[in-house]
Structure 1
Amino acid sequence: MSGQTLSRGGLSLPGWRIIVVFGCFGIVLALPFIFRVSAEESNEAARRVIIISPHNEQIRYEFGRGFADWHEARFGEPARVDWSVPGGTSEIRKMLQSEWISALKRGEMPGGNADLVFGGGSWEHTQLKRGIEVTLEGLDAQTTRDWIRKIIGRADQSPSSIPLGTLQTTGITAEITQDESSGLYTIKATATISIPAGFPSDMFHALYGRTEVAGTPLWDPDQYWLGTALSAFGIIYNNDLLKSLDVPQPTAWSDLADPRLQQEVALVNPAQSGSVTTAFETILKRRGWEPGWRILRRAAANARYFSASSLRAPTDVAQGDAAMGVCIDFFGRFESQSLRDHGAGDRIGYIDPPGETMLDPDPISLLLNPPDEEMARRFIEFTLSPAGQSLWQFAPGKHEDGLGPYQFSLRRMPICDELYRDHFDRFTDQVDPFLNAEPPPFNDRNMRSFIPVLFQAAAMDNAVELEAAWHAIVTHPGYPPVEAGAIVTSDDVEDSTLSEMIRLFDAIPTVPGPSGENISLATAQGRAAIKSGWLKKVWEGKGLWDDEADARHVLRRTLGDEIASNYRRIVTLAEESGGKQSH
Structure 2
Amino acid sequence: MKSWLLASTLLCSSVSAWAKDTLVILSPHRKSIQEEYVPLFTEYYKKKFNTDVDVQWLDQGGTSDDVRFLRAKFANKSKSSGVDIFWGGGTATFLELQRDGFLDSYQLPAELKTQVPEKAAGIPLYDKTHTWYASAMSSFGVFFNKKIMKMDGLPAPKTWQDLGSPAYNDNISLTDPRRSGSANTMNAIVLQTMGWNRGWELLTTIAGNARSFTHSSTDPIKAVVSGDVGLAMAIDFYALAKIGDLGPDNLGFILPEGQAVLDPDPIAILKGAPNRKVAERFVEFVLSSEGQKLLLLPKGAPQGPKSSSLGRMAVNVKAYEETEGKRISPDNPFTQTGFIMLDLERATKMQRVFNDLVGASLVDPHEDLKKAWKKIAKGPVVDPILRLAFGKPLVSEEDFMKLVDKWDDEVVRNQTINAWVSASREKYKSLQ
1:286 aligned onto 2:286: no
Determine if contact 2:149/2:230 at 8 Å carries over to the other structure.
yes
1:128 aligned onto 2:103: no
The 2-side partners of 1:455 and 1:374 are apart by 41
Determine if contact 1:47/1:78 at 8 Å carries over to the other structure.
yes
1:325 Cα offset (Å): 1.0
1:47 aligned onto 2:16: no
1:436 aligned onto 2:321: no
Cross-structure match for 2:288: 385
Cross-structure match for 2:9: none
Residue type matched to 2:133 in 1? L
The 1-side partners of 2:28 and 2:304 are apart by 21
1:339 Cα offset (Å): 2.5
1:451 Cα offset (Å): 2.9
Q: Deviations over 1:337-382 (max 9, x none)?
A: 3223xxxx62222222233121111111111222211111000011
Structure 1 residues 91 and 441, CA gap change in structure 2 (3 angstroms): closer
The 2-side partners of 1:257 and 1:44 are apart by 58
Cross-structure match for 1:411: 311
1:257 Cα offset (Å): 1.4
Determine if contact 2:140/2:260 at 8 Å carries over to the other structure.
yes
Structure 1 residues 395 and 324, CA gap change in structure 2 (3 angstroms): closer
If asked which structure has higher relative contact order (CA below 8 Å, sep 6+), I would say 2
Q: Which runs of 5+ in 1 are unaligned?
A: 1-42, 132-191, 483-487, 491-498, 511-519, 538-548, 572-583
Q: Deviations over 1:84-131 (max 9, x none)?
A: 122211110011101211x54xxx6432x2211111111112222222
Residue type matched to 2:309 in 1? S
Determine if contact 1:54/1:88 at 8 Å carries over to the other structure.
yes
1:413 Cα offset (Å): 0.6
Cross-structure match for 1:195: 104
The 2-side partners of 1:244 and 1:450 are apart by 40
Cross-structure match for 2:181: 274
Larger gyration radius, structure 1 or structure 2? 1
Residue type matched to 1:418 in 2? K
Q: Deviations over 1:141-184 (max 9, x none)?
A: xxxxxxxxxxxxxxxxxxxxxxxxxxxxxxxxxxxxxxxxxxxx
Question: Residue 58 of structure 2: which of 84, 102, 106 is its match?
Answer: 84
Question: Residue 238 of structure 1: which of 138, 145, 150 is its match?
Answer: 145
Q: Which runs of 5+ in 2 are unaligned?
A: 1-16
1:206 aligned onto 2:132: no
The 2-side partners of 1:414 and 1:326 are apart by 22
SS at match of 1:243: helix
1:529 aligned onto 2:402: yes
SS at match of 2:66: helix
Cross-structure match for 1:96: 70
The 2-side partners of 1:220 and 1:363 are apart by 10
1:310 Cα offset (Å): 0.6
Residue type matched to 1:408 in 2? S
Structure 1 residues 350 and 45, CA gap change in structure 2 (3 angstroms): farther
1:398 Cα offset (Å): 6.5
1:355 aligned onto 2:263: no
The 2-side partners of 1:350 and 1:284 are apart by 21
1:374 aligned onto 2:277: yes
The 2-side partners of 1:408 and 1:324 are apart by 22
SS at match of 2:74: helix
1:450 Cα offset (Å): 3.9
The 2-side partners of 1:204 and 1:562 are apart by 53
1:449 Cα offset (Å): 4.5
The 2-side partners of 1:335 and 1:325 are apart by 13
Cross-structure match for 2:242: 335
The 2-side partners of 1:288 and 1:198 are apart by 38
The 2-side partners of 1:391 and 1:465 are apart by 44
1:562 aligned onto 2:428: no
1:420 aligned onto 2:420: no
TM-score (norm. length: structure 2): 0.88
How many positions carry a matched residue from both structures?
414
Q: Which moved more, 1:65-74 or 1:306-315?
A: 65-74
The 1-side partners of 2:235 and 2:313 are apart by 12
Percent sequence identity over aligned pairs: 27
The 2-side partners of 1:362 and 1:317 are apart by 24
Determine if contact 1:395/1:428 at 8 Å carries over to the other structure.
yes
1:4-83 alignment to 2 at 5 Å?
Answer: 46-83=20-57
1:447 Cα offset (Å): 5.0
Question: Please, what is the CA RMSD of the aligned residues?
Answer: 2.5
Cross-structure match for 1:117: 86
Determine if contact 1:382/1:388 at 8 Å carries over to the other structure.
yes
SS at match of 1:406: coil
Q: Deviations over 1:408-440 (max 9, x none)?
A: 321111012222344333322100134114434
1:230 Cα offset (Å): 0.3
SS at match of 1:414: coil
1:255 Cα offset (Å): 2.2
The 1-side partners of 2:343 and 2:180 are apart by 22
Q: Deviations over 1:315-347 (max 9, x none)?
A: 01111111111121111112233223xxxx622
Cross-structure match for 1:161: none
The 2-side partners of 1:448 and 1:204 are apart by 33
SS at match of 1:252: coil
- Of Structure 1 and Structure 2, the greater helix share is in 2
Determine if contact 1:280/1:451 at 8 Å carries over to the other structure.
no
Determine if contact 1:66/1:387 at 8 Å carries over to the other structure.
no
Q: Deviations over 1:364-404 (max 9, x none)?
A: 111122221111100001111111111100233463xxx33
1:462-501 alignment to 2 at 5 Å?
Answer: 462-475=365-378, 481-482=380-381, 490=384, 499=385, 501=386
Residue type matched to 1:338 in 2? D
The 1-side partners of 2:318 and 2:392 are apart by 48
Structure 1 residues 489 and 286, CA gap change in structure 2 (3 angstroms): farther
1:536 Cα offset (Å): 4.9
Determine if contact 2:200/2:392 at 8 Å carries over to the other structure.
no
SS at match of 1:49: strand
Structure 1 residues 526 and 124, CA gap change in structure 2 (3 angstroms): same
